[in-house]
Amino acid sequence: MSKSKNATLNFFSGRKLIIGVPYVWFILLAAIPLLIVLKISLSTMEMASVSNMIDWSNGWPKVTLNFESYQFILKDALYIKTYLSSIKYALITTVICLAIGYPFAYFMARAPKHIQPTLLMLIMLPFWTSFLLRIYAWKTLLVNNGIINNALISLGVISEPIQMMNTPFSLVIGMVYSYLPFMILPLYANLSKLDIRYLEAAADLGTSPLKTFWLITVPLSKAGIIAGSMLVFIPAIGEYVIPELLGGPNTLMIGRVLWDEFFSNNDWPMASAVAVVMILLILVPMAVLNKYQSDQASGKAGA
């Protein structure tokens, strides 16, 4: 009797431990830090430190919310322009990744079964080598006296180097390059599960291959398209390293604005407000991704 009671006790404390440990970990390192960002975005900078939002001097808490930073974001055209330009570059990157990645994932899923793991590993391998070094590699390729320009000049194709670095072109090429595997992997996972009998049935009924592709393959792979696009779009919006190394001063990206507000201007409330608005921007695509993932888990999405 007492033994079985003990076992139940043990079981419950095990359950509490297993749920409690990650809970405390993420509350401390994820939830509280984000609340602090929200709090600081509603303060102002006073004498190199952040103003106290809650004033206890009268014996009761007096909360002062300061919307100055947000007003500044709304008033200054440059912030709005930068947010829009971040969305624009993230969208362009997503569309190009989809255009390159969809046919690739389709052909990979149709490749002989025994070589598919190797094909997949070859997609993952660059992803394992340093992201930073691969972005640097593009810099050596794209600068005016870089490898591509030098090769084209020595081949006689061009006489003057083409300006590729520090343009929207170099920024987008770096982002497509870095995020392409994020598009290919969910698409491949989806397309390799596609029931080939649907396509055979369509062919038997005399549908042309192109029509079969548009009417059957694409709709059935909708879940993969959504997941891949969100996995590219969301991180691309806040990207810092790629615009810093490849984008040059004229390509506006909000990740760099946040960085500069914090490191150059030491304006913590402003950096926090920029972050909060950025989070609001990615909430919608994040909700879409979450819905897709929970649908996937319950088996509703896809075929």
Partner 1 sequence: MSQGVNKYFGRAWMGAVYAFLYLPIVTLVIFSFNDSRLVTVWSHASFRWYHALVKDADLIAAVWLSLKIAFLSALMSVFFGTFVAFALNRYKRFAGRTLLSSMANMPLVMPEVIVGLALLLMLVSVQHWLGFPQRGLFTILLGHALLGTAYAAVVVTSRLKEMDMRLDEAAMDLGSKPWQVFTLVTFPLLVPALVSAFLLTFTLSFDDVVLSAFLSGPGYNTMPMVIFSRARLGLNPTINAVATVTIVVVTIAVIASSFYTSHVERKRKRETALAYSDANK
**Positions 254 through 293 that interact with partner 1 (CB under 8 A):** 255, 258-259, 262, 268, 271-272, 275, 278-279, 282, 286, 289-290
Q: In this complex, which beta carbon is closest to partner 1, that of residue 149 or of residue 220?
A: 149
Q: In this complex, which beta carbon is closest to partner 1, that of residue 79 or of residue 177?
A: 177
Q: How far is the CB of 60 from partner 1 (least distance, A)?
A: 22
Q: In this complex, which beta carbon is closest to partner 1, that of residue 68 or of residue 244?
A: 244
Q: Which amino acid is at 61?
A: P
Long-range contacts formed by 95-101: CB under 8 A, 24+ apart:
96/172, 96/176, 97/176, 97/179, 97/180, 97/182, 97/183, 97/228, 97/229, 97/232, 98/183, 98/225, 98/228, 98/229, 100/176, 100/180, 100/183, 101/180, 101/183, 101/184, 101/187, 101/228
**Positions 28 through 57 that interact with partner 1 (CB under 8 A):** 29-34, 36-37, 40
Tokens of 86: 């971040």
Q: Which stretch binds partner 1 (CB under 8 A): 27-35, 59-67, 76-84, 219-227?
A: 27-35
3-class DSSP state for residue 248? coil
Residues 104-123, mask of contacts with partner 1 (x by CB under 8 A): x-xxx-xx-------x-xxx
- Contact between 248 and partner 1 per CB under 8 A: no
Residue 250 and residue 112 in contact, taking contact as beta carbons nearer than 8 Å: no
**Positions 144 through 163 that interact with partner 1 (CB under 8 A):** 145-147, 150
**Positions 60 through 89 that interact with partner 1 (CB under 8 A):** none
**Positions 182 through 201 that interact with partner 1 (CB under 8 A):** none
Instruction: Return the DSSP state at 302.
Output: -
Q: How far is the CB of 285 from partner 1 (least distance, A)?
A: 9
Query: Rounded to the nearest 5 degrees, what angle is found at the Cα of 126, between the Cα atoms of 121 and 129?
Result: 120
